[in-house]
Amino acid sequence: MTAALALALLTLQAPAVRPCTPQEVAALTAPSTQPYRLTCQAELSGVDIRRRVLIEGAEGSGASLDCGGGTIRAPGPATTAAPTLAVWSRREGDRWSRPVDVTIRNCTVVGNVRVWGMGAGGSMRDLLASSRTAGHTQAAQSAAPLRVTLDRVRFEGVGTIPLYVGPGVTRTTVTRSRFTGRSTSTAIYLDAESAGALIQDNDFDIHTGREQIAVDGSGANRIVDNRLALHGKGGVFLYRNCGEDGVIRHQTPSYNQITDNLFTGAGWLRPRVVVIGSREGGRRYCGDDRGWPFGSSADDGDGATGNLTARNVVRR
């Protein structure tokens, strides 16, 4: 075993299992315009957090935040570059430092949550370069956060997507949570090369500009036992967003399970509840990734295969 490999293994196997100190809790809950970098396990008794929270890199592995029913509400607008709560990887030379086994529970998040590896904060350079290589899916997944759990979280949308799961993020769990407020886009967005998410036993009562859940080149996810109030919009759409920002999408939206969900408030004229292959190209930017013999560069189609939809109930 090389020294570099040994160091990498130690990094992955050394989660932040210690409780936060009183000084760390005081800093976490002190109002600030700067994000608090969480590297410990915080258990709060309902006190609000009035600053952004950032869990970044391997030092954030094992970090957890139990708000005890409190609210995370940061000053200023929630944006892609400055989300309310971020679980991010960090580039270090020729490798990525990523957080694993992160848990957020019993919180109300006013704004947005971003779980992201390559492209964190909206910087596309690394993601774009990687997408031009044949092994991009594996590279993106190796760089991205792993096993992030969001349990009993109330997502209060203020315009941006409340929960974005970025390229390569794997095994995200969202359970017993509630989505409210508004989004100009979706409630949940599972982006390209991500996989293995579990979205179960959640309530969606959020006004969206699009469908509730977008599965964009994301595979092997389970969306089960949820209750979604559609307000006339779509439910769960599976597609591959060819060419956007020039990034080649390699993985197709395949082998997803969408079962036992209750959809209410579906549109009368054109109820689009679960749509597999909702785009099949046709976007003006699909040609922006042309020139490579793989993924969406070679084929603009969605390529959705092996998906299971069953026992979903639709009520208008």
Domain of 138, CATH number, reads 2.160.20
Q: Which residues sit opposite 310 in a β-bridge?
A: 259
- Is the predicted pLDDT of residue 1 greater than 50, yes or no? no
Do residues 312 and 261 touch, judged by C-beta distance below 8 A? Answer: yes
Angle at 101 between CA 99 and CA 105, to 5 degrees: 110
Do residues 215 and 273 touch, judged by C-beta distance below 8 A? Answer: no
Instruction: Assign 17 a pLDDT band (cuts: 50, 70, 90).
Output: confident
Instruction: Tell me what the mean pLDDT of segment 154-172 comes to.
Output: 98
Of 135-139, 156-160, 204-208, 279-283, the one with minimum mean pLDDT is 279-283
- Is the predicted pLDDT of residue 171 greater than 60, yes or no? yes
Q: Cβ of 153: how many Cβ atoms within 10 Å?
A: 27
What is the DSSP annotation of 71-93? Answer: EE--SS---SSS-SEEEE-EEET
Q: Which of residues 281 and 50 earns the better pLDDT score?
A: 50
pLDDT on residue 271: 78
- Is the predicted pLDDT of residue 175 greater than 60, yes or no? yes
Q: Residue 34: which residues within 8 A CB-CB, separation 6 or more?
A: 51, 52
Is position 246 within any domain? Answer: yes
Instruction: Assign 123 a pLDDT band (cuts: 50, 70, 90).
Output: confident
Q: Residue 25: which residues within 8 A CB-CB, separation 6 or more?
A: 42, 44
Containing structural domain, residue 235: 23-315
Read off the tokens for 74.
Answer: 């940061």
Is position 15 within any domain? Answer: no
Is position 9 within any domain? Answer: no
- The count of domains in the chain is 1
Do residues 119 and 127 touch, judged by C-beta distance below 8 A? Answer: yes
Is position 12 within any domain? Answer: no
Q: Cβ of 119: how many Cβ atoms within 10 Å?
A: 27
From 51, 192, 32, 194, select the one nearest 109 (Cα to Cα): 51
- Is the predicted pLDDT of residue 279 greater than 90, yes or no? no
Is position 51 within any domain? Answer: yes
SS3 143: helix
Instruction: Assign 9 a pLDDT band (cuts: 50, 70, 90).
Output: very low
Instruction: Tell me what the mean pLDDT of segment 82-110 comes to.
Output: 97
Question: How far, CA to CA in Å, does 125 sit from each of 82, 130, 142, 216?
Answer: 18, 9, 17, 20
Instruction: Assign 15 a pLDDT band (cuts: 50, 70, 90).
Output: low
Q: What is the mean pLDDT of the chain?
A: 93
Instruction: Assign 7 a pLDDT band (cuts: 50, 70, 90).
Output: very low
- Is the predicted pLDDT of residue 210 greater than 70, yes or no? yes
Instruction: Tell me what the mean pLDDT of segment 252-260 comes to.
Output: 98
Is position 41 within any domain? Answer: yes
- Is the predicted pLDDT of residue 208 greater than 50, yes or no? yes
pLDDT on residue 27: 99
Is position 16 within any domain? Answer: no
Is position 52 within any domain? Answer: yes
Question: How far, CA to CA in Å, does 89 sit from each of 58, 159, 211, 225, 228?
Answer: 8, 25, 28, 30, 31
